[in-house]
């Protein structure tokens, strides 16, 4: 390969961001994406930056962890957040996007960049020249083996899940109602209200419904006897697993009715299933928090017990999937270079960053640093006071016992006792403002955009 060239493996969220950032800094980028020649089992299109599950990038206010990270990424001129803002849908205080418009915008921007060449090919071995590896939670088998071999570590397998999507015009709006929590006016979500009897019948059927059998090693992981290395993500537990924790687990969890009143009765329902808009046309809605491993037939039977969804048509059923990631504290520097090879960078879910925004953010850092490495400039680390700085710090410094995929959250930021003692609401705004100020100052001191 000639000088000033970079290989990026994986045209997902992290890979696209990394490729674009490096190309913007004058580097010729070869972006390898294996789809559609090899599929992951979760992606359904050949587009770059396809969102495989929720269409929400998370909270959009700066007093929320993800919201602060989104704000930082806007300041850092992230391509993917720009595309997300341009494809935003109404979703209360969250940044939800039309997934097709979003992926199309990213794909077209990448394809038309004069410095980026997209190559549809599976990379089976770690590249031997300067590269960013961002092959995601569904990294192909041969590449996973090559990474494990290079790092001298076993890959870790976790389980996660995706929620079903239904056609909007098959939802019975004589039963369901529109509202966002605590809003007086008609809101962005469709809510299916349940009385106590409906809720209890639903939970009873959910708990005994047939599930897709897990392969034997996956069962070992699920039961937590594989050396403690595999388990469900707490935030992405299948609804049936959560329901088994107690009869009111859902009513206090994803089906909590707080902040919602059924406009017909004027009362708060016993439980509420919320559906979030999934495409710009508003023809599709996903069941919020309904990740599941039930068989498709059982999903249809049990989810149609939800008032308002009796005739719902499912355009996608919930599914389980593999999640591969490395033990980053032993493998990566805070610059996202591997410890063993300074010209090899990693980013995305593969390094244990959780959530769409976090994955985009890690791609930003890897792309910028790979470009700087090629150009012989000092590599960057963001200040700990920023959400991105703290997220990367966590991923590269956590202890083996504590390490698990991590989303942006205020608990990662450094603080003094005095700062912490402020009340929670002020604390978040205070930390958010501090982060943005520190970031602004840092940008003045570093030549980040050159």
The residue ranges that bind ligand FAD (CB under 6 A) are 9-15, 32-35, 40, 42-43, 52-54, 122-123, 134-140, 143, 160, 162, 321, 348-350, 355-356, 359
Query: In sequence order, which residues have a C-beta less than 8 Å from that of residue 400 and are 6 or more positions away?
Result: 327, 329, 330
Tally of residues, the chain: 450
Nearest distance in Å: CB 144, ligand FAD:
8
Between strands 94-97 and 271-277, the pairing is unpaired
Q: Which is nearer to ligand FAD, 38 or 173 (CB)?
A: 38
Residues 7, 17 contacting (CB under 8 angstroms): no
Nearest distance in Å: CB 32, ligand FAD:
5
Residue 304 tokens, joined: 């149609």
Residue 7 Cα to chain centre, angstroms: 24
Strands (E) located in 226-374: 271-277, 284-287, 314-316, 319-325, 344-346
Q: Which is nearer to ligand FAD, 29 or 203 (CB)?
A: 29
Q: Which is nearer to ligand FAD, 135 or 381 (CB)?
A: 135
Nearest distance in Å: CB 449, ligand FAD:
23
C-alpha 406/C-alpha 395 separation (Å) is 8
Q: Which is nearer to ligand FAD, 15 or 257 (CB)?
A: 15
Nearest distance in Å: CB 159, ligand FAD:
10
Helix (H, G, I), strand (E, B) or coil at 287: strand
The residue nearest ligand FAD at its CB is 12
Q: Which is nearer to ligand FAD, 139 or 299 (CB)?
A: 139
- What is each CA distance from 32 to 24, 62, 121, 237, in whole angstroms? 18, 34, 6, 32
Residue 283 tokens, joined: 């023809």
Nearest Cα to Cα of residue 353 among 332, 373, 370: 332
Nearest distance in Å: CB 59, ligand FAD:
12
Q: Which is nearer to ligand FAD, 11 or 269 (CB)?
A: 11
Nearest distance in Å: CB 247, ligand FAD:
27
Residue 59 tokens, joined: 């909270």
Is the bond preceding residue 265 a cis peptide, omega within 30 degrees? no
Q: Which is nearer to ligand FAD, 59 or 123 (CB)?
A: 123
Query: CA angle at residue 291 from 39 to 226, to 5 degrees?
Result: 75
- What is each CA distance from 300 to 57, 204, 226, 293, in whole angstroms? 27, 15, 33, 12
Nearest distance in Å: CB 134, ligand FAD:
5
C-alpha 381/C-alpha 292 separation (Å) is 38
Nearest distance in Å: CB 339, ligand FAD:
20
Q: Which is nearer to ligand FAD, 307 or 405 (CB)?
A: 405
């Amino acid at each position: 390969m000639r000088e000033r060239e970079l290989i990026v493996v994986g045209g997902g969220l992290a890979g696209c961001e990394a490729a674009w950032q490096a190309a913007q800094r004058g580097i010729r980028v070869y972006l390898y994406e294996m789809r559609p020649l090899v599929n992951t089992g979760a992606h359904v299109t050949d587009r770059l930056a396809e969102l495989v599950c929720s269409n929400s990038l998370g909270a959009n206010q700066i007093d929320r962890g993800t919201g602060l990270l989104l704000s930082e990424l806007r300041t850092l001129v992230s391509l993917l957040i720009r595309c997300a803002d341009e494809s935003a849908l109404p979703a209360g205080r969250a940044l939800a996007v039309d997934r097709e418009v979003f992926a199309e915008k990213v794909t077209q921007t990448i394809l038309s960049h004069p410095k980026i060449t997209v190559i549809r090919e599976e990379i089976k071995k770690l590249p031997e020249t300067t590269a960013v590896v961002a092959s995601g939670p569904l990294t192909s088998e041969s590449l996973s083996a090559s990474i494990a071999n290079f790092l001298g570590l076993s890959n870790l397998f976790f389980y996660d899940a995706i929620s079903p999507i239904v056609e909007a015009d098959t939802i019975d709006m004589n039963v369901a109602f529109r509202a966002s929590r605590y809003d007086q006016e008609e809101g962005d979500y469709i809510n299916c209200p349940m009385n106590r009897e409906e809720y209890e019948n639903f939970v009873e059927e959910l708990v005994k419904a047939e599930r897709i059998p897990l392969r034997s090693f996956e069962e070992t992981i699920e039961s937590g006897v594989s050396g403690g290395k595999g388990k469900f993500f707490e935030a992405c537990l299948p609804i049936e697993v959560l329901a088994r924790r107690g009869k009111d687990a859902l009513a206090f969890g994803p089906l909590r009715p707080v902040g919602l009143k059924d406009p017909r009765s004027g009362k708060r329902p016993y439980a509420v299933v919320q559906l979030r808009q999934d495409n710009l046309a508003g023809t599709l809605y996903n069941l919020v928090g309904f990740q599941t491993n039930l068989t498709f037939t059982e999903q249809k039977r049990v989810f149609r017990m939800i008032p308002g969804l009796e005739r719902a048509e499912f355009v996608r059923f919930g599914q389980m999937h593999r999640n591969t990631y490395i033990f980053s504290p032993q493998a990566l520097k805070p610059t996202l270079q591997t410890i063993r090879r300074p010209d090899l960078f990693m980013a995305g879910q593969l390094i244990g960053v959780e959530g769409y925004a976090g994955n985009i953010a890690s791609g930003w850092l890897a792309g910028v640093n790979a470009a700087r490495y090629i150009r012989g400039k000092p590599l960057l680390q963001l200040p700990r006071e920023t959400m991105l700085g703290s997220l990367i710090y966590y991923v590269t410094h956590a202890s083996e016992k504590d390490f698990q995929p991590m989303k942006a959250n205020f608990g990662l930021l450094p603080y003094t006792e005095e700062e912490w003692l402020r009340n929670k609401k002020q604390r978040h705004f205070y930390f958010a403002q501090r982060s943005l100020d520190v970031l602004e100052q840092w940008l003045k001191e570093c030549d980040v955009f050159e």
